[in-house]
Structures are given as C-alpha cells and as structure tokens.
Amino acid sequence: MFHGGESSATGLIAGCLYGLLYGLKHVPSGLYQNLEKKEKLEALGVKLYHTASAEKNLEKAEQERPQGVISLENNIAVNGRTLKQLILEHLTGPVVREILDTLLQYITQELPRLGTDTQKRPVNKDTMNKNIKKPGVRQPTSFQLLQSKYMLSNPKPALTHRREVGTLKLKQVYKLMKMDKPINETGQERKGARLKVRDMIARFAAVEQKKTKFETRDLARHVNQGPVLSNVIKRLKDLPNLQKRNGLNEHKMPECAIKYNTLGIKKAAKQKEAPKQKKAQGLFILDKQEKQVISKSASLKKHSISLGEQPSPLAVVKCSPYNLLETEQDLVCLSLTQRYGKVQRIFSDLCCTGLVHGRRLILGGLSWDCFMPWTLESCAEEAAGETRTMEKARSSQQQQQQPQHRINVPSNARERISRVDPYGFERPNDFDYESYEELMSEYLAILTKRTIKWSKFLKGRSHIEKSLKVKRYVRKGIPNEHRALVWMAASGAQEQMERNSHYYSSLLQGQHDPKLEDAIRTDLHRTFPDNVQFRKTAEPCLQKPLYNVLLAYGHHNKAVGYCQGMNFIAGYLLIITKDEEKSFWLMEALLSRILPDYYTPAMLGLKTDQEVLGELVKVKVPAVWQAMVENNVMWTLVVSRWFICLFIDILPVETVLRIWDCLFYEGSKILFRVALTLIRHNQALISQARNLPDICDCFKQITRGQFVEDCHPFMQNIFKEPGSLPMATITKLRAVCRARIIAEES
C-alpha cells in the first residue's frame, strides 16, 4: 500500500467500500471466494440489509401514529426543543451530540427546504411536546442522518453555542491524588489513605459551610438544598447504622442503588425544568448496569466493620472499612467513563449512596482509593459554584467560621506518590516524582478507558479468540487485572495448563537435580532485590514461588535448565499472575513457542536475533549501523540483555508490561520493533558517539527518559517508527544469520 501503517486494514476497508459502491460483480472472485466465515458474513449482510429496509418501512407505520411526531425505535418523542435540550445536556456524549446536531439541523432546515409545509403545532403543552413533522414527509433513516452529516454541502452544526460544562483540570487536581498503593498494604499506607479521605471531607465541609451558611452539625436540614454535598454528608452520617447491620449486605446494596437512581432522575428533572421520564431513563442507563454490578458485588464479599461511636462524618470516615470490597473492581470501572464531566457527576452520585465509600479503585493496574480527591473536590467545587449567588447575598451579613477540618494535602509529588510502585518495586532515589505525576495524570485517563473497554469485552466471555479487535485492544494495553487472563489465553498457556492439569505439581515432587537447585538458589536473592515482594521479610515472599517455577521449568526443559535472565522473567510473571502454575505455563509458552532458543547453552537463537537486529538496523537506520561498524561494536555488547531479559530492568516496568502484552499476542517480532524504535528514535545520538564505550553508554541512555517512560505513546511508536516489518523478512533474516553464525563457529 502507500504508507507505513496498517496496510492490510487499509486495504480491507478500501475493498469493503469498493464492494459497497459497485457490488461484488467487479471484484475478482479469487479475492473473496475463500474468505473465512464467508457464509456468516453474507448472512449478516442480508440481515443488516433487512434491518435497514425495515427502518425505512417504519414510515408507513408512522403514518398511523399521532400526526407529526418523529418516532425513533426507542419511542422517544423527538422534536426540536427536546433535541436542543439533549444537545445542551452536558451528559450527552460528543458523538451523540453531533448526531443530534445533525438531526436537529435536518428537522429545522433540511425538511422545510424539501418543500414540505412544516408546521410547528403544539399538541400537548403539559408534556412540552411539539409536533413538527408533517404527514407524508419521509422519516429519515439512521443512514440518511449520518449521510446528511457527512454529505451535506453545509455540514456546520445548527448549534454553535454550547454550554461550557467545565473541564476537570487534571494536572492541578491530580496533585491531590496519591496515585498508587503498594500491593502489600501496610498499616502505614492505610494511614496515608485515611488522611486523604479526611482531607476530602474537610473540603466538603468547607464548601458546605460556605454554601449553606449554616453550622455544619445541622446537617439534616440541607439534604435537599445542596445537590451533592449534603447528600454525601448525610450518607456518611448514616453509614454507621448501615454498617452496624453487619456491613453493607446484599439487601442493602440494591436499595441504595435504587435510591441513587431516583436521585439521578430527580436531578435530571431539576436540570431540565420539565421532567421527561423517558429521557431520564435514557440518561441513566448506566445506573441499571451499575445496579447489577452493585448487587452482584454485594454478594461477593462481606465485610464486618468495626466502627467508632462518634457520629460525625469525619469519625465515620476514619473508622470506615477501608478495604471494603477492595477486590471488587467492576463497579468503579463501570462508573468511570471517558469523559471527566460525567465521571465527576457519576462519582458524586455514587458518593451520595455511600456505595463506593472506602472502596479501592483499581484502574489498569494502578490503584488508589475511590475517594479520589480530584473527583470529590471537583464535585464540591461544582456545588459551590451553583450556590455562589446565594452566597454573595449572605456573605456580607455573616462572618463565616473557619472550616472545621484543615486541609492537609502533601505539598509535593515526592510525598504524594508512594515510594514503592504498584508492582512492589522501590522507586530509585533519583526518581523524578514530579514528571511521573504529570505523566500518570494523562496515562490514568487512558487506563480508565482501556479498563472499561476490556471489562465490557471480557464480560461473559470464556475464552479469547484472536481477531483484529483483540490485537488492537492488546496493542493499546491490557489492564493489569486482565493481564494474566489475556496473556494465558493469547499465548496458549491456558490451553496447555488445562490439558496437563497435574503436570506442574508433578515436576516439583520428583527428585531434583542438585546442580540445578544450586544454580537457582544462587540467584534467588539477586532477583529484584529492589522489589518488596521478593524480600525475605515479605509476606508472602515471592522467592519460594520463584524457586519453584524455575525448578519446575528446569526439569521440564532439560536442554535449557536454568539460564540467568529466566529468573527475571519468572519474577515478572509471578508479580502479574500471582500464581506459580500460571507463571510456569506462561514461561513455557515464551521459551518454547514465542521466543527462539535464547536460553539454550549455545544461545544460538539469541545470537541470531542480535544479528537480525543488526541487519534490520543496516537497512532502516544506516547511520547507526555505520557507527557500529566504524567503532567495531558487536551487537551482542549492547543488546544481549534486551533480548535475554525481554527488556526487564532495561525499560520502565509499565513499558515492559505493555511490550509483553504484545509479545504474548504477536510474538517475538515485537522485540525487534521495540529495539528498532529505540535505536531509530535516538539515531542522532548514537551516530555521534566516537568510540566503543560511548556507544555502549548511548545504548544505556536511550532506554531511559521521557520517551520510554511515557509508555502509551511509546507503544504507539513501536508500530510506526520502524515502519513495515513483515514476519517473512524476519524469518528470512533469521535463516541467513543463523547459517552465518554456525559457519563462523565451526
């Protein structure tokens, strides 16, 4: 094709479009004859066609309805005003908003232009419904609407003024957020977490005070005044009673959810002035999902909570069950949507129900507490904004007392961010907390989005089949909670494990090779000494599982036994899967299927791949190749560790895991993509090096810094920067290089 990206996908799309326009007649039959799942696709096409035709036919039925109402399938009455409100409604997604814009334009401009005598005739003032459609006018199909959007000569939306919803200043508020917690929650960590919640409540209290100009203890009075705040406080106040009844149990949760739902509707109604039940339902579809999850989650884990006697909200929070349902991630994942405006709102509503209170939020592997300062703070700010006018009027009369609770948020990133990363690695002394925080504030948004997508995708799926969609999803990153699952599925490890269910334990039971045992034992304390999970004092300590996995693998694959580097790989697998057997099978998949023979005594696969990389660099980054030759640098000097450790300890942990996502799905080719990206991106630096140590330094330098820390753009880069890299090329190069090495060695 014409570009360096996804040529196959582009070709596919182009082909589809051609087929749509001209039919199959002109397409050479060879191109589609042996198409996989052809029958199914054709059947689907027919169905699609019928559905589309049915939509067109709706107009006939339409004529039997009350005159002039455009009815969509979900029976929401549509008129200009409703549409306009929908568009103005800030909960409406951008895509939906655009479609609605077009629809509005279609109704108000296109229809009249079509020459029909459109009238606006109020039918029922009570429901604020107006009929704008004249009988006989064809109702536009969804396709037509979309078409009108993209094909119109004047595609400008009818509405240019949109309500500023308010943006969440992520950077700013992010500073308030302690982003990650160590996997092993220590008492100290909890203390830190509580502090945050207390701060939050302090904020709430402050805003509440400002808003109501009443004393904070008189809470009940404001319940219906403040949109968010008083509810939160009320719920928190109620929490002890609720929890005294043996925690948040099954019966209680759905009830709360329903409350939440009503509240949402009420709120929507209030915003709209004219309540529209249907619309409210539409807007809160999410509620239903959440309700399900909530009731589901409630049955999963009960927690008995010890509570203090103090009734104040602060006390409640202090004694709150901080780990309540901490393993339950769905709820919060679902609650978060891509758009922060919405997240904010949903969160505030959830907070009202007390349901998310104290729950840990797990997002794409990074966890922090559900009481996210930014969320609540922005809610509070919003609440404050709404009552600002009222406040102005009163402020002259009353001198406000200071907020009861002082806000005590750590002032710098170093204090806000844990010393240990989410995988248990201690951050180095020179770790740049500030830029990490900045970087993560963007990455978390991506993680959230991916988490939602993956959760949706995996729901009710027993196994994952390879497809373009999954490939795309994998490239964009697998959320940490699904990593083990997807790795197992994509690599075939799951299948192997199921087929050989007792194999792993049998490997550990038999007689062991003392030499192997010794070799593994020598490296145990040298494997991730910077990771708290691998310390002897850790509970549980991963050294024993590491030993087991390596020992089992050594016996399973006697040709390899144990080779240094494997300890790091097994270590990462244990960190992610938290399961010895899974780690063993993933290791098996990597070493026997995904990677060539990197770890056999001759290391022929490794030597070959190092040379293959050299050949690729020669073609794709000639300047670097030149520098390597001039300074007489062997590739093995600079890249052996990249291949042996699969970038562990070379690149940042998060980046390595993102690479592994693709490695398990797409195979060893990914290693070349990463290596080529690093080299090509830094070619100016490398080609400036004047001697061997300089070059070696360069190769270390290029694995550090923003470019690799920022893992999401980096992963996008590895599929762009090196350009096309067909597997056929690599296979060919491997054969050539392997033959050369064998010839040289003999």
Partner 1 sequence: MAYAYLFKYIIIGDTGVGKSCLLLQFTDKRFQPVHDLTIGVEFGARMITIDGKQIKLQIWDTAGQESFRSITRSYYRGAAGALLVYDITRRDTFNHLTTWLEDARQHSNSNMVIMLIGNKSDLESRREVKKEEGEAFAREHGLIFMETSAKTASNVEEAFINTAKEIYEKIQEGVFDINNEANGIKIGPQHAATNSTLAGGQGGQQAGGGCC
Piece in contact with partner 1 (CB under 8 A), picked from 18-26, 294-302, 499-507, 597-605: 597-605
Q: Is 738 in the site for partner 1 (CB under 8 A)?
A: no
Residue 504: CB minimum distance to partner 1, A: 23
Q: Is 310 in the site for partner 1 (CB under 8 A)?
A: no
Q: Is 565 in the site for partner 1 (CB under 8 A)?
A: yes
State phi, psi for 491 to the nearest 5 degrees: -90, -10
Report d(CA 384, CA 362) in Å as an integer: 29
Report d(CA 53, CA 55) in Å as an integer: 5
Q: Which CB sits closer to partner 1, 202 or 645?
A: 645
Q: Is 704 in the site for partner 1 (CB under 8 A)?
A: no
Residue 157: CB minimum distance to partner 1, A: 58
Q: Is 550 in the site for partner 1 (CB under 8 A)?
A: no
Element (H, E) at 16: helix 7-22
* Binding test (CB under 8 A) with partner 1, winner from 640, 655, 668, 682: 640
Report d(CA 602, CA 741) in Å as an integer: 11
* Binding test (CB under 8 A) with partner 1, winner from 564, 592, 626, 729: 564
Report d(CA 451, CA 365) in Å as an integer: 9
Amino acid in position 717: N
Q: Contact at 8 Å (CB) between 193 and 178? A: yes
Q: Contact at 8 Å (CB) between 23 and 32? A: no
Nearest Cα residue to 434 out of 409, 457, 413, 465:
413
Piece in contact with partner 1 (CB under 8 A), picked from 318-326, 473-481, 640-648, 703-711: 640-648
Q: How many C-beta atoms lie closer than 10 Å to residue 160's C-beta?
A: 7
Piece in contact with partner 1 (CB under 8 A), picked from 241-249, 308-316, 422-430, 644-652: 644-652
Q: Are strands 70-71 and 129-131 parallel, antiparallel or unpaired?
A: unpaired
Which of helix, strand or coil describes residue 334?
helix
Residue 532: CB minimum distance to partner 1, A: 14
Q: Is 553 in the site for partner 1 (CB under 8 A)?
A: no
Q: Is 299 in the site for partner 1 (CB under 8 A)?
A: no
Q: Is 601 in the site for partner 1 (CB under 8 A)?
A: yes
Report d(CA 301, CA 615) in Å as an integer: 56
Residue 562: CB minimum distance to partner 1, A: 8
Nearest Cα residue to 346 out of 90, 5, 139, 530:
90
Piece in contact with partner 1 (CB under 8 A), picked from 195-203, 379-387, 404-412, 594-602: 594-602
Amino acid in position 84: K
Report d(CA 679, CA 675) in Å as an integer: 6
Q: Cβ neighbours of residue 313 under 8 Å, at least 6 residues apart?
A: 201, 204, 205, 219, 233, 236, 237
Q: Is 337 in the site for partner 1 (CB under 8 A)?
A: no
Which of helix, strand or coil describes residue 36?
coil
* Binding test (CB under 8 A) with partner 1, winner from 599, 625, 660, 664: 599
Q: Which CB sits closer to partner 1, 28 or 529?
A: 529
Amino acid in position 191: K
Q: Is 587 in the site for partner 1 (CB under 8 A)?
A: no
Token code pair at residue 700: 């270390």
Piece in contact with partner 1 (CB under 8 A), picked from 62-70, 388-396, 561-569, 678-686: 561-569
* Binding test (CB under 8 A) with partner 1, winner from 147, 408, 500, 691: 691
Nearest Cα residue to 451 out of 354, 350, 343, 573:
343
CA count, 13 A, side-chain hemisphere, 545: 25
DSSP letters for 149-165: HHH-S----S-------
Q: Is 636 in the site for partner 1 (CB under 8 A)?
A: yes
Nearest Cα residue to 639 out of 654, 622, 624:
624
Residue 573: CB minimum distance to partner 1, A: 17
Q: Is 692 in the site for partner 1 (CB under 8 A)?
A: yes
Q: Contact at 8 Å (CB) between 711 and 659? A: no
Q: Is 693 in the site for partner 1 (CB under 8 A)?
A: yes
* Binding test (CB under 8 A) with partner 1, winner from 480, 567, 577, 583: 567
Q: Is 645 in the site for partner 1 (CB under 8 A)?
A: yes
Q: Contact at 8 Å (CB) between 249 and 400? A: no
Q: Which CB sits closer to partner 1, 177 or 587?
A: 587
Residue 346: CB minimum distance to partner 1, A: 46
Q: Is 634 in the site for partner 1 (CB under 8 A)?
A: yes
Number of residues that bind partner 1 (CB under 8 A): 33
Q: Which CB sits closer to partner 1, 141 or 564?
A: 564
Token code pair at residue 23: 């039919």
Q: Which CB sits closer to partner 1, 435 or 600?
A: 600
User: x-or-dash pattern for partner 1, window 502-531, by CB under 8 A?
Assistant: -----------------x--xx-xxx-x--
* Binding test (CB under 8 A) with partner 1, winner from 176, 452, 478, 603: 603
Site of interaction with partner 1 (CB under 8 A)? 519, 522-523, 525-527, 529, 561, 563-565, 567-568, 599-603, 606-607, 634, 636-637, 640-641, 644-645, 649, 690-693, 696
